[in-house]
Amino acid sequence: MNMHRILPALLALAVAPLVAQQAAPAAPAAPAVPAAQRTGPELTPEQKELMKEVERMRGEKARIDAQVALAEARRAEELAPLAAETAKLSAERALRLAKAAAEAAALEDEKARLERQTSLEAARSSARLADRMNRIRELEAEAKQLQLEAGNTVARLTNELNRFQKEEESRKVATRAKPRYVKDPLIDGVLYISDRRIPFNGAVTDQLADYVVQRINFYNNQSTEFPIFIVVDSSPGGSVSAGYQIQKAMAASKAPVYVVVKGFAASMTAVITTLAERSFCYPNSIILHHQVSNNLRGNMTVLKEQIRFTTEWFDRLGTPVAKKMGISLEEFVKQMYANDSTGDWQAFGEKARELKWVDTTVERIEETAILDIIPPPAAPTPPVIRPPQTEISGVTAKVDDKGRPYYELPPLSNPFDAWWIYDPHGLYRAR
């Protein structure tokens, strides 16, 4: 504990008895008397000791006070730079705080300005956005209106186009006439062909035979009262076996099957025409008969077998033709070469009628079933030429390695079949 704090307490304890003895009213102060001359109550030894102790303590206190003062002075001297530095730092801190406060105030002002500017810009942007949205809605309304008008225009144009197409289609359909069904189609020299017609063009193949036979059966199931017409524009003949199937289907038909040759009928097709129940042609139509031919291949035995079967085919199908002509088969062959050195005996319609290859020549043929316009066929790519009824007969148009077009015939399904076809230019080639 510090002495300067203890000393006053000790002094108070020492002087307390003296204060009690002097509690009476004090007389007027007398002049100071030195201690040696003082008169009064004698101090006890304890008091004297105490007074000495007090004096000593006072001296000690004075010394201590002097030390404390010196220490305070030294401390003040030592703390002076620190106080100055502290004051400086306090001043600098106050200055920085003032600057910071000023900057904060400036930032607050800038923030407030930016907020006001942002609010103003947002308000302007909202206004511009609202204007744009209104414009967009106006444009959408205009677009819908234009779309509606365009739709109405398209609908109107579509209706007009449909109407024009229907009118065009109606112009392509013969609505004033209907197929003419008569039991005897030859009326006053005019041959009337109904829709019970079977187109017969190109090479006679198994595929063409299936096509013709199916339609003969169909028309029979539809009606047996009116005739069926096999209409030949141009056919060079073909497979003997396929032609025989057609001939037998014609013979088995309950409805009469008539053959009409408009252009050219040769070989197997000529046999079908001649042996039909009834046949017709134009005066300038051409009918051609000749012997059966074959592409012989194999050893001698096979060649003999093929010749034997080909000869038998010709006997079976050529004999009825010769019989209708009123001559023998041998005479028929002899006249073939007598009329043409190649054996290809051909005749126009009038002569064919005299030879009994065809029954009747007519000047006019009316196709009463042609009620719409058939679109023209697509132009073939040169130099390939498209044979008639390619899809039906199975014949394929090809070009050989020398660039020459030809027709490839389908293979004969019957191993004993033969080609009875007129092909002077070598256009048809067997597969």
What's the whole-number average pLDDT of the chain?
A: 81
pLDDT for 291 beyond 50: yes
Higher-confidence position of 21 and 241: 241
**Per-residue tokens: 348:** 């126009």
Q: What is the pTM (predicted TM-score) of this model?
A: 0.56
| Contact yes or no for 349/265 (Cβ under 8 A) | no
pLDDT for 384 beyond 50: no
Q: Which of 316, 296, 317, 299 lies closest to 307 in space, CA to CA?
A: 296
| Contact yes or no for 346/340 (Cβ under 8 A) | yes
| Range 364-369 average pLDDT | 91
| Contact yes or no for 274/245 (Cβ under 8 A) | no
> Over the range 312-342, which residues count as b (16 or more CB within 10 Å of their CB) and which as e?
ebbeebbeebbeebebeeeebbebbeeeeee
Please name the residue that has the structure tokens 């009409």: 260
Catalytic residue numbers, as ranges:
267, 290
Higher-confidence position of 299 and 351: 351
| Contact yes or no for 345/148 (Cβ under 8 A) | no
State what percent of residues in the chain have pLDDT above 90: 35
Q: Which helix (H) or strand (E) holds 193?
A: strand 190-193
What domains, with CATH codes, occur in the chain? 186-430 (3.90.226.10)
Residue 373: band (very low, low, confident or very high) from pLDDT cuts 50, 70, 90: low
Q: Which of 192, 360, 362, 364 lies closest to 278 in space, CA to CA?
A: 360
The pLDDT of residue 46 is 85
Widest distance between CA atoms in the chain: 212
CA pair distance 289, 265, nearest whole angstrom: 9
| Range 375-394 average pLDDT | 52
CA pair distance 264, 281, nearest whole angstrom: 9
